[in-house]
Structure 1
């Protein structure tokens, strides 16, 4: 039996479909897809935002924890620093107290030393109370104590002061670097004062003051100076006093009983020099 052929479809047989049918929003499948896509995108964004927020929270938590750790460390350091400051303060107070005690002990020692120096000066002055110092007397080749004693007796005769060999307790020449004076230790302070007073009168009443010519020594006349045998301290004070007297025109500067005195003019007040500070006070008043 022969097959029945179906005629092919022609375009005229097809129902025309417009392209706009696929683009309409009224299609439920397309709207759903778009909505799903939007939801997915929104969720993705939310996830991203949530992830960023979690990271931010984690970061802030870590930073806050680090800050807390730093604060804790600073507090611990402050505690240690305060302990160190307290320890230093205690040590400072202890050191300050020790220093005060040392300064007090030093002041007491200084006063004690000054007291000892004054006592030593007094003893030395007493030991030299009856001594004379003769300067510029030439040395002889065969100089002996007996020969020096005879020279002193001859000097005493020249200034009209009675003196015998027994009045001389000791006599010797000092072997100093600059000058070599002769020290005479007499038997009494009164005898020493008589000798100095006689010398003062002799030099005052005679233009030809005491010199080697009065001892009939050969050569040019050399002035002979006789004074008290001063201690080292008084010797320096006497030098400074004479220097000050020359600068400020003090008329008198002398020693008596181992002490130094100044007087501005005849009848002016007597100034006793006890220390170099007295010289400084007078010099500041210039």
Structure 2
């Protein structure tokens, strides 16, 4: 038995074509049309005058940026110097300087340090000392004579250093003859912290101002400078030359 094939009518073809057109995607739109980027809003210079004007604006902007970079660099350098100074001072935390005792040829400075410690009431032995030596002699510019070189000492422990430094007032009135028998030198003996060169310069500046204004006290502690007008007045910390206006 032969089956008859069903023939498609024109209506069916029309219906299929209609369906196909309904699901086809819309044509893609241009990205440049939708972007709305800077090129669409910023006019492109076309004349020499416009080009020169834009170049001038760019150069001014670059100049301002250059100045800002210089300021940032300057701040970074100052911070770096401050950090180095703090680190340098921290490395001296176990040190003191002993002033007023002339050194004899061949004399062991460790022995002098032990004697000075005994004079302030602190008993130590050479094993408490890491190293000691005389600093180079320097000339006093005011009196045009060479000062007695100081002895710099680094202790093994900071606690030993602090015990001697905080008892330094016990040296008042003592001379090298009382520290070392047979010494005819009448210098006063005193103990200082081992400050960095910038802090030493600042200390001398503060001390000069203190003398001018007849303030009574000036001292250092842990690398910092302090001053005070009298026993009843406020203690002033002077971390830099700019802070000296607080001494008035």
Larger radius of gyration: 1
Alignment partner of 1:132 is 2:96:
yes
Q: Is the 8 A contact 1:136 1:224 kept in 2?
A: yes
1:106–1:244: structure 2 CA closer, same or farther, 3 Å change rule? same
Q: Distance in 2 between matches of 1:103 and 1:167?
A: 54
Q: Give the match for residue 211 of structure 2.
A: 246
1:133-212 → structure 2 map (5 Å cutoff): 133-143=97-107, 147-178=108-139, 180-203=149-172, 209-212=173-176
Residues 85, 242 of structure 1: alpha-carbon distance in 2 compared, 3 angstrom cutoff:
farther
1:64 equivalent in structure 2: none
Aligned length: 193
Q: TM-score, normalised by structure 1?
A: 0.62
CA–CA separation in structure 1 for the residues paired with 2:50 and 2:209: 57
- C-alpha displacement of 1:163: 1.2
Q: Find out whether 1:221 has 2:186 as its counterpart.
A: yes
Q: 1:92 & 1:102 partners in 2: Cα distance?
A: 15
Q: CA separation in 2, counterparts of 1:172 and 1:150?
A: 11
Alpha-carbon distance change, 151 to 258 in structure 1, aligned in 2, over 3 angstroms: same
Alpha-carbon distance in structure 2 between the residues aligned to 1:217 and 1:83: 93
Deviations 1:218-273 (A, max 9, x none): 33312222111011121112111111111122221110111100112213222111
Flag the structure with more relative contact order, 1 or 2, with Cα contacts below 8 A and sequence separation at least 6. Answer: 2
The answer (yes or no) to whether the contact 2:110–2:126 under 8 Å persists in 1 is yes
1:274 is aligned, of 239, 242, 248, to 239
1:155 is paired with a residue whose SS is helix
Q: CA deviation at 1:161?
A: 1.0
Q: Is 1:259 paired with 2:228?
A: no
Mapped contact 2:129–2:153 kept (Cα < 8 A): yes
Instruction: Provide the alpha-carbon RMSD of the alignment.
Output: 2.2
Q: Matched residues in 1 for 2:189 and 2:171: separation?
A: 12
> Quick one: distance in 2 between partners of 1:96 and 1:84?
17
What stretches of structure 1 move > 6 A for 4+ residues in a row? none
When residues 113 and 217 of structure 1 are mapped into structure 2, their CA distance, relative to the original with a 3 A threshold, is: farther
- What's the CA shift for 1:96? 2.4
TM-score, with normalisation over the residues of structure 2?
0.70
Contact 2:236 2:246 in 1 (8 A): no
- Higher helix proportion: 1
